[in-house]
Amino acid sequence: MIRVSIVGASGYSGVYLIQALSSRPDVSISVITSNSNAGKKLPDFSPLFAKKNPENSLLSEIVFSLFDADLIAGSSDAVFFCLPHNESSKLMPDILKKNKDVKIIDIGADFRFDDLSIYEKYYGKHGAPEMNTDFVYGLSDIFYNKIKNSQFTANPGCYPTGALLPILPLVFKGCIDFSSPVIIDSLSGISGAGRGLKTQNLFCEIENSAKAYNVWSHRHLPEIKEKIEKAFLNSPAKQDKFMPDVIFTPHVIPVSRGILTTVYLKLNEGISRKNIAGIYENFYFGSPFVSILDNIEDCDIKNVVYSNNCHIAFEMREEDGGGSMVKIVSAIDNLGKGASLQAIQNMNLMFGLEPDFGIPQYSPYP
């Protein structure tokens, strides 16, 4: 039995973790914390948990508590952190002093960057810089071998997940001509902004509308850029005189969840559609969650929401001056693949389980 605690359990990602983990016979939820809901039982917090799950009959009796490092350390094999940036890094050391073997999956941003100066430029002073090198970047379907051997995993952001899964295989194989920028447009459901009350996220503000935001300053841009640059430096094209330039534009659209990402890339000469298809097929061979579709118009968030799946499709255009352009579209659920379900996939890998073990598959169709 894997004993799990969830710190910051009343936000969207925390609630989704509780819901998904509660159906697993091999997991017991020990502690859930929430500053704003401390003392409440789960059913009092949300009727979603009113019915007892026969495989976790104590679920309806679980009470939100304030953070208690001793309690969590003594009753957990794994701890999920679902906190705003620069919060989880302040709390982890207290748990590790009491339980040095506990595994940690951080859904927040604190340990996603190799370069702490980039993190501090966009997020502020880091709470535990001495721990940063202990963490593996938890893009599960790409870095699974490293995650398997790690005690600490940093879940990627939702936008970076949707962008990096289609981009990184092509970077690793040296297919991209970086004399042109990598252009990424992403459309996200409103749940990506979290549960906090903001005027711009009210129903009357967002319904029947769509808008770009933080077009040059979104915090996920440096995360995407760092991972592309690192992959580039480990690719056959690393001697290229051009370093990757990334232009990322996030948009919010009037749906609850899901991210549709379109990537525009210039390819090196001689790269064909067959080459790209083969790279994706080989790279994601055996992956239970990443599917390469034949038709780019079939890449639709409706087909992936409430799941840990990522759908990818692409179309190419040959340029008169040589080389080709490719448009790649990916679809994920920002709360599933972009947060909670990928975090569970990482937990599975860290405990030596199959990556898809116990991860629910939902079909919202139609």
DSSP, collapsed to helix, strand or coil, labels residue 212 as strand
Report the side by side order of strands in the sheet with 182-188. Answer: 211-212, 246-252, 182-188, 259-267, 324-332, 310-318, 290-292
DSSP, collapsed to helix, strand or coil, labels residue 314 as strand
Provide the residue type at 84 as one letter: P
Rounded CA-CA distance 302/283 in Å is 25
Encode burial over 264-302: b for 16+ CB neighbours within 10 A, e otherwise: ebbbbeebeeebbeebbeebbeebbbbbbbeeeeebebe
- Residue 160 tokens read as 């970076």
Angle between helices 12-21 and 341-350 (to 10 degrees): 50
- Residue 6 tokens read as 């969830």
Identify whether the C-beta of residue 169 lies closer than 8 Å to the C-beta of residue 234: no
Rounded CA-CA distance 329/225 in Å is 18
DSSP-derived letter for residue 55 is T
DSSP 63-128: BEE---HHHHHHT-SEEEE---TTTHHHHHHHHHHH-TT-EEEE-SSTT--S-HHHHHHHH-S-S-
CA nearest neighbour of 126 among 156, 155, 85, 93: 85
- Residue 212 tokens read as 């770009």
Rounded CA-CA distance 246/231 in Å is 14
Continuous H helices in the chain: 12-21, 42-45, 69-74, 88-98, 116-123, 144-148, 158-172, 203-206, 220-233, 273-283, 341-350
State the residue for tokens 């969830």: 6
Q: Is 310 annotated in the active site?
A: no
Q: Which of 158, 175, 299, 310 is catalytic?
A: 158
- Catalytic residue positions, numbered: 158
